[in-house]
Amino acid sequence: MRNRNYISIFFDDEVPLLQAVRKLRESNEIITDVLSPFPVHGLDEALSIKRSRIPVVGFIFGAIGAILAFGFQAWVFTVSYPLIIGGKPFFAAPAFIPITLEVTVLFAGLSMVAAMLIRSKLKPDIRFVPVDKRITDDRFVILVEAADAKTTLMRVKSVLSGIQTIEIR
């Protein structure tokens, strides 16, 4: 066996995966990551993943977009180049709302996607190699941190003795 700092446990279904995650956490193993072909319902709670703050990013950038868009339109029509259009006031606030909404949505949307990509370290990378080729198909994997691969492997195997796994290595 190669000397690595984690061991992988393979499943072909999410039910044993969730059982295994709970058992491993009960026996104080450190789970580095869980890889799955689709978002498994209940896994976030089992791993106690904190709720992402991406909506906060969206709110902040959306607010910036709103202020920029509204402020810019107001500045253009009151300071930079006031024009009388259809006898309406220079500061025609209701007319600025549609563009303000659009720019808010644009800023909020792009910022949240950017935040997701940055936080998940997702970027176009031609040299990327997945842990296992079947994770995007039908394999569920738990990666457990292992300072000493051999003893951890023994421990994990005994913890997961009653659970249906495909492979532990």
Nearest-Å Rg of the Cα atoms of the chain is 26
Q: How many whole angstroms separate alpha carbon 73 and alpha carbon 8?
A: 56
**CB of 5 closer than 8 Å to CB of 105:** no
Residue 166 as a binder of other proteins (CB under 8 A): the answer is no
**Which residue among 2, 38, 147, 161 contacts other proteins (CB under 8 A)?**
38
Residue 30 as a binder of other proteins (CB under 8 A): the answer is no
Residues 101-130 contacting other proteins, CB under 8 A: 101-103, 105-106, 108-110, 112-113, 115-117, 119-128, 130
Closest CA to 69 of 96, 89, 109: 96
- Specify the residue for token string 């295994």: 20
Residue 135 as a binder of other proteins (CB under 8 A): the answer is yes
- Specify the residue for token string 């993943």: 49
Q: Which phi and psi angles does 40 have, rounded to 5°?
A: -85, 130
Residue 60, token pair as written in the block: 């902040």
Residue 64 as a binder of other proteins (CB under 8 A): the answer is no
Residue 151 CB, shortest distance to other proteins, in Å, is 25
Q: Which residues bind other proteins (CB under 8 A)?
A: 12, 14, 33-41, 43-44, 47, 49, 51-52, 54-55, 58, 62, 72-73, 76-77, 80-81, 83, 85-86, 88, 92, 95-96, 98-99, 101-103, 105-106, 108-110, 112-113, 115-117, 119-128, 130-131, 133-138
